[in-house]
Chains A and B, each alone.
Chain A
Amino acid sequence: MLPDFEPIHLLYLSIAIVLEIGANVLMKQSHGFAYKRPAVAAIVCALAAFTALSYAIRGIQLSVAYGIWGGVGLVATTVLGMTLFGERLRVSGWVGLGLIMLGVGLLKFA
């Protein structure tokens, strides 16, 4: 955390994560950008996510914010993939999920 960290920066990071999850789901629905409308919506969501991230890094180191953003976003996207798209995790997938959560936890307290 940077010296001028305030709770508002965590809020910006949360907004960035929510937008990133939206972008991932839309990207999935574009089937590798084959469908133009979700693809464009995904890019707009991602640009908004990065904009929120740019406010978060006023109080949180970029490497920490980016790690948490990527890790939490991916875990949430996986859970959504399971519930919305019926994806299944093999054992290695669950191990990966655990490692990401462990890494994000460590990063937050490093």
Chain B
Amino acid sequence: MRYWLFMAVAIVTEVAGTLAMKYGTHHGSHAQGLAVMYVMLVLSYTSLALAVKRIPLAVAYGAWESLGLVLITVCSAWLFAEVLSPVKLVAIALIIAGIVLLERGTDEAPKEDGRAS
């Protein structure tokens, strides 16, 4: 359970960082937006690294990327008045379904003589 909390923190900080970048680029100062983004992304990757101690990397990465995509799309529409056309919603749904299937349908390479951890 604790590891899914790390996962949630990783997703929220990534989305916050991306939105700060967008805000800085279009409304405020580009450098300030980037600075907030850097801090958030380092937090996000650190949290993701903690999460993958228990959660398989493929599952974690798929969840991180697809949930991030959903939240960023929804928040962009809400905060920055980006248009959410039906075609765009279908496209994003397809990408998310694809990310999940791809993560689930990839087999790791067989381990060689136990050298790799």
Contact B95 A54 (CB under 8 A): no
Do A54 and B21 have beta carbons less than 8 Å apart? yes
B1-50 at interface with A (beta carbon < 8 Å):
17-18, 21-22, 24-26, 30, 33-34, 37-38, 41-42, 45, 49
Pick from A53, A81, A92, A102: contact of B21, CB under 8 Å: A53
Could you give, for residues 34-65 of chain A, a 1 whenever the CB lies within 8 Å of some chain B CB and a 0 otherwise?
Answer: 10000100110011001101110110011110
B114 contacts the other chain (CB 8 A): no
Say yes or no: is A22 at the interface (Cβ < 8 Å to chain B). Answer: no
Which residue of B41, B49, B85 is within 8 Å of A50 (Cβ)? B41
Q: DSSP class of A's interface residues: helix, strand, loop or mixed?
A: helix
Give per-residue flags for A82-110: 1 if the beta carbon is below 8 A from chain B beta carbons, else 0.
00011111111111111111111111011
Which of these, B21, B95, B107, contacts A100 with CB under 8 Å? B95
Answer whether residue A74 sits at the interface, using C-beta atoms and an 8 A cutoff: yes
Whether A96 contacts B109 in the complex (CB less than 8 A), given A54-B25, A62-B18, comes out as no
Closest to A58 in B: B25
Partner of B106, one of A43, A78, A100, A102: A78
Q: Is A103 touching B92 in the complex (CB atoms < 8 A)?
A: yes
Cross-chain contact B18 with A106 (CB below 8 angstroms): no
What count of chain B residues pass the 8 Å CB interface test?
56
Q: A63-B82, A103-B92 are in contact. Are A50 and B21 (CB under 8 A)?
A: yes
Total number of A residues with any Cβ neighbor in B under 8 Å? 53
- Alpha-carbon distance between A39 and B111 when the two chains are bound, in angstroms: 21
The answer to whether B59 has its CB under 8 Å from any CB of chain A is: no
B97 touches A96 (CB 8 A): yes
User: Which A residues form the contact surface with B (CB < 8 A)?
Assistant: 28, 31-34, 39, 42-43, 46-47, 50-51, 53-55, 57-58, 61-64, 66-67, 70-71, 74, 78, 81, 85-107, 109-110
B binding-site residues for A, Cβ under 8 Å: 17-18, 21-22, 24-26, 30, 33-34, 37-38, 41-42, 45, 49, 52-53, 57, 65, 68-69, 72-73, 76-77, 80, 82-85, 87-88, 90-110, 116-117
